[in-house]
Chain A
Amino acid sequence: MSNTAGGIGAKVMRRFTYDDRTALVFIAPVMAVLALVAVFPIGYSFYISLFQIKLTRPNRTPFVWLDNYIQLFGDDLFWTAVLRTVTFTVMSVTAITVLALLAALLLNEKFPGRRLVSTILLVPWAIPYVADALMWKWIYDSGYGALNGLLYQLGFIDKYVVWLGDQQKTLPLIANAFVWKEVPLATILLLVSLKSIPQDLYNAARVDGAPLLQRFLHVTLPSMRTGFMLVILYETMIAIRHFDLFFVLTEGGPGTASHVLSWEIYIETFRNLSFGSGAAMSYVLALVTFALAYFVIKILGRSV
């Protein structure tokens, strides 16, 4: 026994240098914590997803293999949620990227009051999501909301409009609230990317006689590829699993107009207390997020 232990110890000593071993000692506590709070829950939640667990039926939790997953794929509401999630994500990420690019380009220029504009731009980022959602709930309210008040006073509408209660408008309006909150961070990321473009490239383009638009298309945009990748990847992951705005603004309604995957998971897990099928849904969401991230990295990261 001691020989074996000694053997392993000797192997470790041979395999790792003193510096490696020191590093391992320092890393070990963090790894242990990560294993406890991240790796174990991930593994355990997959294990749970193979059972039919309903908290209110604590004595009946049969092992059902992959039934939770199979049932999920046969559920119309699940596919509705997938469609709504994809729509919301595409709308939001596109708008965030375009608006953040415009804001970054603006802040990259020198003009009086630039610092003030930068500060104002950061305000939405500092607001917690629930507060953000409550604020937009007031703005969108069809009875006393600020949006109706403004449009009415400006003469754009002659009577108050139903916003969140209109299924055609619900998802774009939630996306708008999401974009408002997310643009500042995306702007900072793109601004950093913008500032890292060597001035020499612009000078060379000018020497070649390239006008402003050409310089933007052929110098600025390609040089920001890393920044775009970061923004699109991050915002896609955030949008795809976003929950707060749906919870506060519409609770998945009207009808199923804002019934996204995160809402479906919440309902299944915390309202229906079905932890088995809820965990299965969460795994599907995680896999979809992973696949999208992989797709974005693959497409945008080719020449990074």
Chain B
Amino acid sequence: MKTGLGRAFGRREFLKASALVGGAALALPGVAARAAGSNINLQTWSAAVDLVKSHVAAFEKATGLTVDYANAPWAQYPDAMVTKFAGGAPLDVLWVSDGWLPQWADANWIAPIDGFDNLMAYNGDAEPFCTDSMTYNGRQYGLTYYTDYMGFLYDADKLSAAGFSAPPTSWDEVVEQSLVMKQKGLSDFPLMLALAKESWLIEFMSAMVFSQGGAFTDDKGNSIMQEAKGGALTTLQWIVDAVNKHKIVSSACLETGELNGLKAFAAGNHAFALLPKYRLAMLNDPAQSKIAGRAKQALMPQGKDGSHATVGWMRFHGMSTQAAADKARAENAAKLIEWFGGKADGEYKFQKLLFLDLGSSFGVKPLFQDADVRAAYNKYGDVELIQKQQALARKKDVITPWFGDWNEVNGSAWQSAVLGNASAADALKKSGKEWDDLKSQS
């Protein structure tokens, strides 16, 4: 055999070169681990990247296993993952949002983890809505990455300027206090609701519906959103009145997304806001907010037949079906899931670091007793109240395989009612019919 340089390159040389290349490859830890089947493919969206990397490094050091870590932007993550699943790309552990769970589980892309007793043992420490949000058809599909809930926030200065000593405890009081604030010129639109068509919309709706004592669906998953006593109708009518009758919410709420709503609240334009609780830290940061030191949290106002319930959401570490199908791979994947979602070196290290570094909330109750956590929370919030509200959070009751299809129609229906194109009852009838149609088709 002649090479391009014209030198003889016989079978012996070829074998030598192959051995050399092979040896060099095996000498690299990652390649060696892959060869031994001890490599884990971890896929996340692009959040807390440095923290994940350092936690992965600690895992590799502690276990001798190796991790191939990849991430994709949140906005493209579902599409990227579906493509990977469909294409059979190697995946072992991945981040999953509660909204995708039914679809991904039905498609057999992710597998239950409830066969691993060491992972299930953490449920005792988890908030019930967290475990519920990771459960589909009675099977649990992961352990916490982070969680949070929709909070009712207020500007304490505006409240006292209006002559109130305490924040509203009911939706009627929200109207009452808002009208006084409008009258006194403290705010044109005291309540900030972000009802633009975006992924946050269902969280806002659910929080308000739950606090009215209602739900979108019953225990069997049948639609009750259109029913007079379902809670959704009361909520939507309340919003329609707040915008069009009382004018305590701007009609711009329909173009306001969560981020713009946050900015408006941080600029001091409003007295009350529905926002994810983790935003409290930013709102009390003088570098980012004009209402720093004044942004407080109250329990979610309750409806006449309701409670202070709110909605919680969940992002978790799941296991791919391809990993679950191979015993050794599944065990390695479970180790990584535990390292991130459970305890590492005897403590909930990742959830704690995530909270301390980025303010992302944790789903395990013992961390509320951690001195570092309490100190961090108390810098901008009331840890007791935060814990109390978190305990009242509920899983979204619309998370089904047809959630995405229904959500688009439901969002438009609610907006149509606020715009006056349809009555609240008609809008919810449309939403309910869409739910029933999709459910029967599935």
- Chain A: residues with CB nearer than 8 A to chain B? 55-59, 77, 140-144, 159, 162-167, 250-257, 259, 267, 270-274
Considering the complex of A and B, which 10 residue pairs feature the smallest CB-CB distances, nearest first?
Answer: A165-B255, A254-B254, A142-B252, A56-B103, A165-B254, A164-B255, A255-B416, A253-B197, A251-B197, A162-B252
Of chain A, the residue at the smallest CB distance from B257 is: A251
The answer for the CA separation of A55 and B108 in the assembled complex, in Å, is 11
For A167, the closest partner residue in chain B by CB is: B419
- Given contacts A165-B252, A165-B254, A267-B408, are A253 and B415 in contact (CB under 8 A)? yes
**Residues of chain B within 8 A of A267, CB atoms compared:** 408
Q: How many A-B residue pairs have CB under 8 A?
A: 93
- In the bound complex, residues from chain A placing their C-beta under 8 Å from that of B405 are 272, 274
**Contact, CB under 8 Å: B404 / A272:** yes
**Is A259 touching B412 in the complex (CB atoms < 8 A)?**
yes
Identity of the chain A residue whose Cβ is nearest the Cβ of B416 in the assembled complex: A255
Give the shortest distance, in Å, between B155 (CB) and chain A (any CB): 16
**How far is B16's CA from A84's CA once the two chains are assembled, in angstroms?**
69
Contact check, A255 vs B415: say whether CB atoms are below 8 A apart: yes
Note all chain A residues with C-beta closer than 8 A to B404.
271-273
**CB 8 Å contact bits of B387-411 with A (1 = contact, 0 = none):** 0000000000000010011001101
Q: Which residues of B contact A (CB under 8 A)?
A: 79, 82, 86, 103-104, 106-108, 188, 196-198, 250-256, 260, 263-264, 267, 269, 401, 404-405, 408-409, 411-412, 415-416, 418-419, 421
Contacts A255-B419, A259-B412 supplied; 11 other A-B pairs, CB < 8 Å: A55-B107, A56-B106, A141-B255, A142-B255, A162-B250, A162-B251, A165-B253, A251-B198, A252-B408, A254-B415, A254-B419
Chain A hits for B409, CB < 8 A: 77
Specify the chain A residue showing the minimal Cβ separation from B252.
A142
Q: Give CA–CA (A56, B78) in the complex, Å.
A: 11
Instruction: Provide 20 A-B residue pairs closer than 8 Å at the C-beta atoms, listed in order of the A residue.
Output: A57-B106, A58-B108, A141-B260, A143-B264, A143-B269, A144-B263, A162-B251, A162-B252, A164-B255, A165-B255, A165-B256, A251-B196, A253-B254, A253-B411, A254-B419, A255-B415, A256-B416, A257-B419, A271-B404, A273-B103
Q: Please state if A142 and B250 are interface contacts (CB–CB under 8 Å).
A: yes
Alpha-carbon separation in the docked complex, A257 to B106 (Å): 34
Determine if A252 and B401 form an interchain contact, defined as CB atoms under 8 angstroms apart: no
Q: Which A residue's beta carbon lies closest to that of B253?
A: A165
Residues of B within 8 A of A167 (CB): 419, 421
Q: Which residue of B lies closest to A164 (CB)?
A: B255
